[in-house]
Amino acid sequence: MASHHPLTLRSTALRLRRHTSTTRPFSSTPPRPKHGPIPTFPPTSSPSLDALLSTFRTNVFLPSHLLRPQRALIYRRSLQHQLTGEDPITLTLPTASPDGSGSEDFTLAPLDHLRDEPATAPAFNTFLSLLRTTADWRLLPFFLEGLRTSGRKLAPARAEKMVRRAAAAGQMGIVGECARMVARTGVKLDEVGLAREMMWGAVQTAVLEGWSAQGTAAAAKQAEGTLVLMEDPAHVGGERARDPRRAPEVVGAGMGLVALRAGKAGEGDAGGKVEKLARRTLDCWRYAELGGRDGSWWDANRALMWWAPVEVGMRAAMKVLGEQSELGRRLGEVLKADVEPVVQKAKGILEREGPAEGRRRGIVMYEELQRALD
């Protein structure tokens, strides 16, 4: 018997027919859509991605848009015989894609939860690995919306990985769009880990552009957008034990990018944005988690990722504000007493205990950040 990849499950279990004016009368009255339009995915850069999207669309997303009677027909074995006769049940539902909205005829067919529905975590990892082009990445908000409306919760680790992949591909703009569409995509910036990744993704935007004035400006804009979104109750509502709005490694990284933009523009602190973020960073400093856990390379890599952007950010802000200004002196004191020791210790551990092949992400980030000050 031929075997099937888990992500190319029976996507033919639900047959689709595009709506045209010549379609015969429906055998069922179209229901009111439960969750708005169903995502539609145009052809992508690879057959594997096309197959994955087709499976999710027909076996996961569509059922979540049906009303209870239609769901019973496709899942309940005692009723499924009604879908396999000579008179199929066809529904017309609204659809949406990057190219616009429309409608489509869906012919219902039997489905089995265990057999036909792929698991969220491995499928999402595969989905990210298959995104190659900008057109592929434009499908991300629609895929996320489909997951949310079908009750598939995206774990924080998966969301963080999504941002890392987008940053490496130069697609942080798409991720920012997903965060702005939080009600539809479910991408909430309420976890410190995800907020950090958004800031490091902004840094990566500048790195990919060689820290040019234009690239740095784009990175600073992304960082500012993240800080603004975190103030939206739709993202972070009320007080939290680990509030990303009070995480100095998040705010400090944003301060750094804004300061680097100001320095490259040569206009000083126009609008007072650097001063505002510098004060906010210092106000948050009591929440800084500077101590390492076990002195391992993993711990050091994490510390370097957290604090190298803040170290460079403080240096850049001191240049813009003046090292002898009140804020410049305060930043210098924190830099010397807290940030530099943590960064240098972590860097030393990684240089001594780095992997035999490849280089840790923290070291790469540290070296790229040093170029920002050149």
Span 342-369, pLDDT tens digits:
999 999 998 887 665 566 888 988 999 9
Query: Across residues 277-291, what is the average pLDDT?
Result: 94
Please count the other Cβ atoms lying within 10 Å of the Cβ belonging to residue 80: 17
Mean pLDDT of the chain: 88
Give the residue among 95, 74, 87, 91 at the shortest CA–CA distance from 30.
91
pLDDT, average across residues 189-199: 95
The pLDDT confidence band at residue 25, using thresholds 50, 70 and 90, is very low
**Mean local confidence (pLDDT), 318-339:** 97
Q: What is the spatial distance between Cα 13 and Cα 58, in angstroms, rounded to a whole number? A: 8
The model carries a pTM of 0.87
Name which residue leads in pLDDT, 37 or 257: 257
Q: How confident is the model at residue 86 (pLDDT cuts 50, 70, 90)?
A: confident
Segment 200-229 shows an average pLDDT of 96
**pLDDT at 23 > cutoff 80:** no
Task: Give the tens place of pLDDT for each residue, 100-111.
Answer: 889 999 989 899
pLDDT of 8 > 90? The answer is: no
- pLDDT of 32 > 90? The answer is no
